[in-house]
Amino acid sequence: MAHYYDTEDLEDFPNIVEFAIDSGKRFFEYYGSATGAGRLTEREKALIALAVAVTQNCPYCIDAYTNKCLSLGVSSDEMMEAVHTGAAMMAGITLAHSTQMRKIIKKKEM
Amino acid sequence: MAHYYDTEDLEDFPNIVEFAIDSGKRFFEYYGSATGAGRLTEREKALIALAVAVTQNCPYCIDAYTNKCLSLGVSSDEMMEAVHTGAAMMAGITLAHSTQMRKIIKKKEM
Amino acid sequence: MAHYYDTEDLEDFPNIVEFAIDSGKRFFEYYGSATGAGRLTEREKALIALAVAVTQNCPYCIDAYTNKCLSLGVSSDEMMEAVHTGAAMMAGITLAHSTQMRKIIKKKEM
Amino acid sequence: MAHYYDTEDLEDFPNIVEFAIDSGKRFFEYYGSATGAGRLTEREKALIALAVAVTQNCPYCIDAYTNKCLSLGVSSDEMMEAVHTGAAMMAGITLAHSTQMRKIIKKKEM
Amino acid sequence: MAHYYDTEDLEDFPNIVEFAIDSGKRFFEYYGSATGAGRLTEREKALIALAVAVTQNCPYCIDAYTNKCLSLGVSSDEMMEAVHTGAAMMAGITLAHSTQMRKIIKKKEM
Amino acid sequence: MAHYYDTEDLEDFPNIVEFAIDSGKRFFEYYGSATGAGRLTEREKALIALAVAVTQNCPYCIDAYTNKCLSLGVSSDEMMEAVHTGAAMMAGITLAHSTQMRKIIKKKEM
């Protein structure tokens, strides 16, 4: 049975310039600048990218940044900690929004 | 200073039919059926809707369904439990996707 | 061709403690408390979790909570109603935000 | 009481280049190319951008693209139709994922 | 190995009415109205739907609307431009929210 | 006019334990472990949390982690780079999913 999320799709990512060359090239220039070493190191940015990939449920980027982290010498424990930071934020964002619910409940109780 | 999220916007919600009457009416027919009592009770659906509202960061719907839950006699404790179920799912979804990272790490380790 | 979303990944979920034991254990303690029976029943929380899973597009959690609902005796009709509550909320959240667009249009019209 | 979503923040958007000039400039080059006229007209892209803004719950972009649509002569009815297309997709995406639930239910029923 | 995202699931989409006939039918009536020709053409709505599908990471809808665009004579270049509009919006929404960070930084600096 | 996103709500965040003490306490134990110093430093985790906050459009967490970064001596330039990494990932995730569209187009072209 065919499936949508081929692991081979990732290799096609550089080819997305094909149907829209100008936008594609400009995207890669932005992406390169935003994920390459700057004030933050490549390692710091790879950990950030991994956390964003996993909180956005993007298999392609989880693959790409797990491999990038490994190639930069990031340990499994460090990667898993980045994932937990992301996961705890996801729960925290939901709970932070529950303060809006609490305000309404408290106003009604008065 | 003006702000985007007016609490008064919620009262405008029934008026969204204005610029697209047909789609607007059909939406409300679907919405009424999907959130009104059926096999599940109105109370069960209000708790589900509250959890979706808070996991989607929608202040309008947090307001609407906190009030609906209160009007249906749902207690503050029950509402907060629904929020925690949602929050724990958000963290769990991120962590479930980390199994994709773990597979790649384990393959490399071999 | 290899694919990212293996149904077998779900069995690996309890093992995510491996690279970050402390955070992993605390997550499962939170998750257990937030999805287990409390003021809300396990059945009510399973329906909430199913709705969050499907509105977040998480195949792992759709699998886990479809099975949990079935094991708790939730019928197919009840599960599908929970899904529709979630789906109608997703459309409703988008339409609720269109009140912001309407305010701008109306201000310009004056 | 202070609030997070100032309508004035939108005017600050061009200034985000300030702390990261290179990435900021490359972003705006990409953004200009991706939202400016190409094979698709500026009008078509403004409608797409409006639908993405409203399905992502971004007040800043709802403001920016409502105004852009108005300046391009897009009518209120057309804008509201773009919103409904987005809203119906949001419900549809949730329901499309319920096919994964249905497969599990049907397997169990056999 | 089994996987979650079968390409065949898409054919099951019309069958989702099965366990909740009333809500299912009303959804399809709304969906038909919201994605069918109106003030906006079917082509314009298909491009909007494609952009929403791809920004929401929904493989089923990417499949459905790529095929719909092709059947309506939309070119590969036009489709890719719609994708870039969506992608640039996603980056832009994140950067627009960084104005909230900038305000806090600037207040502290004073 | 009242608004939903009060900046004062953030101070209420520690009080969310109120209506569900057990789940609330366990959440904060998990959150403390996941965002506190471990194999990754508190600074690295604060940058990750900031990027997740801004890609999730959460004003409360943007506030909390901008302030945490500042208190840890992270510079404005470093914070803005973390934001750009997040923003570029958001565009990249959308474009990575366009490989699914490209496969369908290419199959039809043959």
Residue E27 with chain B: CB contacts under 8 Å = 30, 34
The per-residue pLDDT for D110 is 79
Q: For chain F, first and last CA: distance in Å?
A: 59
D2, D4, D19 member nearest F76 (Cβ) = D19
Alpha-carbon distance of B81 to E25, in angstroms, equals 32
* Listed residue (A93, C86, D101) closest to B53, CA to CA: C86
A27, A39, A82 member nearest F77 (Cβ) = A39
Cβ of B32: how many Cβ atoms within 10 Å? 12
Residue B98 with chain A: CB contacts under 8 Å = 54, 62, 80, 83, 87
Question: Hey, is the C-beta of C18 within 8 angstroms of any chain A C-beta?
Answer: yes
Cα separations (Å) of E102 from D1, D27, F54? 20, 17, 12
Residue E36 DSSP one-character state: S
Interface pTM (ipTM) of the complex? 0.96
Q: D77 and B20 in contact by Cβ < 8 A?
A: yes
Alpha-carbon distance of E29 to B25, in angstroms, equals 10
Question: Hey, is the C-beta of E93 within 8 angstroms of any chain C C-beta?
Answer: no
The answer to whether B57 and D57 are in contact (CB under 8 A) is yes
Q: For chain A, first and last CA: distance in Å?
A: 59
Q: B23 and E33 in contact by Cβ < 8 A?
A: yes
Q: Which residue has the higher pLDDT, E10 or F109?
A: E10
**What's phi and psi for D90, nearest 5 deg?**
-60, -45
Q: What's the burial of F107, exposed, middle or buried (CB within 10 Å: 0-12/13-18/19+)?
A: exposed
Give the 3-state secondary structure percentages of chain B, helix then strand then coil, rounded to 5: 75, 0, 20
Tokens of F89: 């990932």
pTM attached to this predicted model:
0.98
- pLDDT tens digits, one per residue of C44-78: 999 999 999 999 999 999 999 999 999 999 999 99
**Residues 6+ away with beta carbon under 8 Å from E21:** none
Tokens of A104: 């309404």
- pLDDT tens digits, one per residue of A67-81: 999 999 999 999 999
Residue F18 with chain B: CB contacts under 8 Å = 80
Cβ of F59: how many Cβ atoms within 10 Å? 26
DSSP letter string, F55-91: HTT-HHHHHHHHHHHHHTT--HHHHHHHHHHHHHHHH
- Sign of torsion, CA D70 D72 D78 D84? negative
pLDDT surpassing 90 at residue E107: yes
- pLDDT tens digits, one per residue of E80-96: 999 999 999 999 999 99
The answer to whether D77 and B19 are in contact (CB under 8 A) is yes
Confidence grade of residue A1 (pLDDT, cut at 50, 70, 90): low
- pLDDT tens digits, one per residue of A88-106: 999 999 999 999 999 999 9
Tokens of C5: 């979303």
- Bridge partners of A3, per DSSP, are E6
Please compute the mean of the pLDDT values over residues C78-97 and round it to a whole number: 98
The per-residue pLDDT for C1 is 65
- Which chain C residue has the Cα nearest residue A59? C4
Q: For chain D, first and last CA: distance in Å?
A: 59
Alpha-carbon distance of F100 to F108, in angstroms, equals 13
